[in-house]
Amino acid sequence: MNATRSRRTIAAIVAFAAIAAAPLGQMAATAEEPGPANSSNASLINPAAKARLTIHKYEGAAIPGAASNGTQIDSQTLIGKKTVDNVEFKITKVKGVDLTTYEGWRKAKEYRGDLRTVKGALSTDSGDIKTGTTENGGVLKFENLAVGLYYVEEVSAPAGYTKAAPFLVTLPMTNPTDLNQWMYDVHAYPKNTKDEVEKTVKDAGSMTADTTGASETASSVTYTIKTSIGDGMDFSTMGMYSVYDHLDSRVSFQGIQVALSENPVNLERDTDYRVHINNEIVMESEQEETVKSPKMAGAHIRVNFTEDGIKKLVQHSSNDVMVTIKAKVLKTDAEALGTTDGKITNKASLIPNKAWYEQQPGTNPDSPPEDPTDPKTPPTEPGLPTGEVESRYGAIQIKKVDSEETNRTLDGAQFTLYKGTKSRDASTPRCTTEDVKAENKIAGPITTVSGLATFSGLQLSNFYDGKMQEELQTYCLLETKAPEGYNLNAEPIAFYVTQAGKYTEVNANTQQHQVPNQKTSITNSLPLTGGAGVGMLGVLGLVLGAGGVGYYVVSSRRDNEAEADA
């Protein structure tokens, strides 16, 4: 009896450290029921019996109140929990483990103590290896299995899920509700966590143009990375948490903030997390000086949580981690953007826990992987990727021509570009004198050469903050110097930029603007002092003056004669 109790004690230790309870999934009809029990004595294993292993997959790392004893749990336990289909499993029988003997159970316990040691004992017989995929509510059944010890591994999971760790299961197990017999119908609930990553960009009004005299915000871009925290984990199961970002070479790192989405608990830099930039740890006190380095363009950024930080994440797992990266697009790359497709793209990634990282392709399961929290050894695959966000920029070319001879281009005109107001009118942009103030200046003045002037690195009017927009950003062009012999344009010219990248041939699309100038001519000029017009007025004045004098002389004579007659 003592040997029997010892064997069952070992069985209880071995079987289900990695199995948690969950509700019963939809059962499929089977041709043969598990068992039967040993006909001599139900307390002994029937080596000829057939066993069944049913795997249930639910989203979440743990099932509250569930027991790891191989039984199925009442469905009321997890009302509202999401089942997970399309998870592939593989089970392999372990050679040389006879569960009808005490020695077999002792060997099973050794394997359970270090799963790496079991790899060499796995059967290669095709009859001892089975695969399947969860379906119809996260359920997978392996039927008609021979009695023995099995190695269960999750081969693949849907995108965004951390695979469950491999585990060993004995078939049969001691029946927890009747300790005098064995249970050949076993239910397992490997843990799965879903990890979500999302990235957004705020870049409205950003430019790569020469923003001389303009506000610094004219080139600012803010990336926000939102990452979930694994449900139901503890510190040991999470193990690590890293958020990774690699900026485009035309974008320069300016600062970073890390916080929880809702909970007021503060995350303290250098205590709860460390910031690695270009494989170096940058302390908070060093950041202001660091951002001045030219190496900040295209920076590799990683936020690695410390032990203290991971404990906070575990305690507040209903939150998301919010990593905000402040950056700026480089003015010197305006032309470079103009010669490409005009798009700056960016995506981030998350290493949600140690188990996820150790499951990645290329990681050797028999030896510890490179530590992704070490800034000197960044992993080849940095984590679960976010979607890609874009910033889009284009160019505008000005062609200066004579208003009457439009084939005649004009050199020497100067133009300054200003940022106008947003407009919902997609067909007719408008500018006012209020738009062309100094604080709205973007670039210029630029002088026409061969009649042409180009403004590059302008954010698209209809695409900003990562998506197409209804309110279009307007640009206002002001002629600040006219070509010699011509008049200035009397009002600012409004336009949109709607095509990413460099303009094509002149007049090929709306991103070339032909600006005519009127000549300065005699028909619209005031007369000059000493000119022919003034001379004629002088002659006419002399004539009128002489006439006036003659009239005065004649009138005086008449008056004198009249007085004499009286």
Q: What is the pLDDT of residues 68-123, one digit of tens each?
A: 788 887 777 767 788 899 999 999 999 999 999 999 999 999 998 888 889 889 99
Q: Which residue has the higher pLDDT, 232 or 491?
A: 491
Backbone angles phi, psi at 263, to 5 degrees: -70, 135
> Predicted confidence band at 527 (pLDDT cuts at 50, 70, 90)?
low
Q: Which residue has the higher pLDDT, 80 or 186?
A: 186
What local confidence, expressed as pLDDT, does residue 361 receive?
63
Could you count the other beta carbons within 10 Å of the beta carbon of residue 32? Answer: 9
The C-alpha atoms of residue 426 and residue 462 are separated, in whole angstroms, by: 9
What local confidence, expressed as pLDDT, does residue 210 receive?
58
What local confidence, expressed as pLDDT, does residue 310 receive?
94
Q: Three-class SS of residue 160?
A: coil
Average pLDDT for 284-293: 87
pLDDT at 373 over 60: yes
Q: Is 130 exposed, middle or buried (0-12, 13-18, 19+ CB in 10 A)?
A: middle
Q: Parallel, antiparallel, or unpaired for β 414-423 and 182-183?
A: unpaired
Most confident of 75-84, 202-211, 435-444: 435-444
Tokens coding 220: 């600012």
- Nearest alpha-carbon partner for 193 in 230, 237, 242: 230
Tokens coding 40: 């001599």
- Helix (H) or strand (E) segment spanning residue 244: strand 242-246
The one-character DSSP state at 50 is: E
What local confidence, expressed as pLDDT, does residue 381 receive?
61
What local confidence, expressed as pLDDT, does residue 14 receive?
47
Q: Which residue has the higher pLDDT, 31 or 354?
A: 354
Distances (CA, A) of 107 to 14, 165, 186, 213: 10, 21, 21, 77
Average pLDDT for 144-153: 95
386-429, pLDDT tens digit by residue? 999 999 988 888 888 888 887 888 899 999 999 888 888 888 88
Average pLDDT for 311-330: 92
For residue 345, the cross-strand partners are: 390
What local confidence, expressed as pLDDT, does residue 355 receive?
78
Give me the percent of the chain exceeding a pLDDT of 90: 36
What local confidence, expressed as pLDDT, does residue 79 receive?
72
Tokens coding 412: 């020497």
List all residues 6 or more positions away from 549 whose beta carbon is below 8 Å from its beta carbon: none
> Predicted confidence band at 257 (pLDDT cuts at 50, 70, 90)?
very high
Q: Parallel, antiparallel, or unpaired for β 512-517 and 389-402?
A: parallel
Q: Which residue has the higher pLDDT, 78 or 489?
A: 489
Could you count the other beta carbons within 10 Å of the beta carbon of residue 371? Answer: 14
Q: Which range, of 223-237, 423-437, 491-505, averages the lowest pLDDT?
A: 491-505
Q: Which range, of 24-28, 216-220, 303-307, averages the lowest pLDDT?
A: 24-28
pLDDT at 345 over 50: yes
> Predicted confidence band at 230 (pLDDT cuts at 50, 70, 90)?
confident
What local confidence, expressed as pLDDT, does residue 444 receive?
85
What local confidence, expressed as pLDDT, does residue 219 receive?
82
> Predicted confidence band at 16 (pLDDT cuts at 50, 70, 90)?
very low
Q: Three-class SS of residue 443?
A: strand
Q: Three-class SS of residue 191?
A: coil
Q: Parallel, antiparallel, or unpaired for β 185-188 and 50-56?
A: parallel
Residue-level length of the chain: 566
Average per-residue pLDDT for the chain: 79
Q: Which residue has the higher pLDDT, 333 or 69?
A: 69
Q: Which range, of 62-66, 254-258, 404-408, averages the lowest pLDDT?
A: 62-66
pLDDT at 19 over 50: no
* Exposure of 169 in the CB half-sphere (CA atoms within 13 A): 34
The C-alpha atoms of residue 395 and residue 500 are separated, in whole angstroms, by: 8
pLDDT at 167 over 60: yes
What local confidence, expressed as pLDDT, does residue 91 receive?
96
Q: Which residue has the higher pLDDT, 128 or 62?
A: 128
The C-alpha atoms of residue 56 and residue 147 are separated, in whole angstroms, by: 21
Average pLDDT for 57-66: 65
What local confidence, expressed as pLDDT, does residue 99 receive?
95
Q: Parallel, antiparallel, or unpaired for β 242-246 and 300-305?
A: antiparallel
> Predicted confidence band at 182 (pLDDT cuts at 50, 70, 90)?
very high
> Predicted confidence band at 189 (pLDDT cuts at 50, 70, 90)?
confident
Average pLDDT for 279-306: 89
What local confidence, expressed as pLDDT, does residue 376 receive?
65
Average pLDDT for 142-160: 90
pLDDT at 321 over 80: yes
